[in-house]
Amino acid sequence: MARGGEVVLVHRPRYDDWSLPKGKLLPGEHPLLGAVREVYEETGVRGVPGVRLPGADYQAPHRGSLVDKHVDFWAMTAVEIDTFTPNDEVNDVAWVPVARALQLLSYPRDERVLHAYAELPPVHRPVVLVRSAAPEQAASLADVLAVLRPGRLISASPVECRDTLGPLSESLLLNIEVDSRFDVGGDPGRAAQALRNLADPDRAVVVCAGGTALADTTRLLAGDAPQPAESDGVVVSFVRDGSAAMVDPLTPA
């Protein structure tokens, strides 16, 4: 979670440690929704996710034994800050520069995540590509995409793509723009360039593309980087100088 040149850390009295905000997912909860919720519950800060950061794998004590844990992290921008109330789980928060945060953090795994954040190049807000979804899935997808606070919605020509963005359009009061460059059978190069042109430093963009168009465009954008696993969509973060793009699955494996 970032605000200006500072990041927020939490102090847990049970362990007397300083760590990055994190927590457990609710049953069936999407990781992005859980990340935003847990950060808010621990710090009183409402964040907007951006670039996905390296995850952390470690063992933690549980009922007298050790259990394997995996935590997904995202770089977030603070947009709303409520009054923090100390509690049994987190009794203090600290907004500090990255260099100071690296000194305070109690665990190397958190340090690795913060180093990755500090080494990020300046990036635009995400451009998210999703495939068409059934009506019952579109509503759930809208809840996930809303936490990114997109400012534009773009659809390929088929009606099922427009319907996929319908619930999100209604909740955000945004019009759906139709762009045939994201249709199945289109030129992936043209679609990739269209995505680069959509990248914006201040607002995320959601694009619903045809299935093969999404896959072909993602392959082109990822270049030599590992291809994201088949998923409900991908999050593309363009470097502001246009030199590269980071491509991650919308839903982590």
Q: What is residue 218's predicted lDDT score, i.e. its pLDDT? A: 84
Reading the block at residue 173, the tokens are: 């009061």
- Say if residues 144 and 32 touch (Cβ distance below 8 Å): yes
Model pTM? Answer: 0.93
Q: What is residue 227's predicted lDDT score, i.e. its pLDDT? A: 59
Q: Is the dihedral of CA 249, 155, 202, 190 positive or negative?
A: positive
Taking alpha carbons only, the member of 93, 81, 7, 97 closest to residue 45 is 81
Q: What is residue 2's predicted lDDT score, i.e. its pLDDT? A: 81
Distance CA 73, CA 49 (A): 9
Reading the block at residue 88, the tokens are: 């049994």
Q: Is 158 helix (H, G, I), strand (E, B) or coil?
A: coil
Residue 82: count other Cβ atoms within 10 Å of its Cβ: 10
Distance CA 144, CA 149 (A): 10
What residue ranges define each of the domains in the chain, with the CATH number in brackets? 2-118 (3.90.79.10), 127-249 (3.40.50.1240)
The one-digit pLDDT tens for each residue of the chain (253 residues) are 788 889 999 999 999 999 999 999 999 999 999 999 999 999 999 999 999 999 999 988 778 888 899 999 999 999 999 999 999 999 999 999 999 999 999 999 999 999 999 999 999 999 999 999 999 999 999 999 999 999 999 999 999 999 999 999 999 999 999 999 999 998 999 999 999 999 999 999 999 998 788 888 888 887 766 656 656 889 999 999 877 889 999 998 7
Residue 27 CB partners (closer than 8 Å, separation 6+): none
Q: What is residue 230's predicted lDDT score, i.e. its pLDDT? A: 58
Phi and psi, residue 40, nearest 5°: -65, -45
Reading the block at residue 69, the tokens are: 């844990």
Q: What is residue 57's predicted lDDT score, i.e. its pLDDT? A: 92
Distance CA 98, CA 166 (A): 40
Q: What is residue 228's predicted lDDT score, i.e. its pLDDT? A: 62
Q: Is 39 helix (H, G, I), strand (E, B) or coil?
A: helix
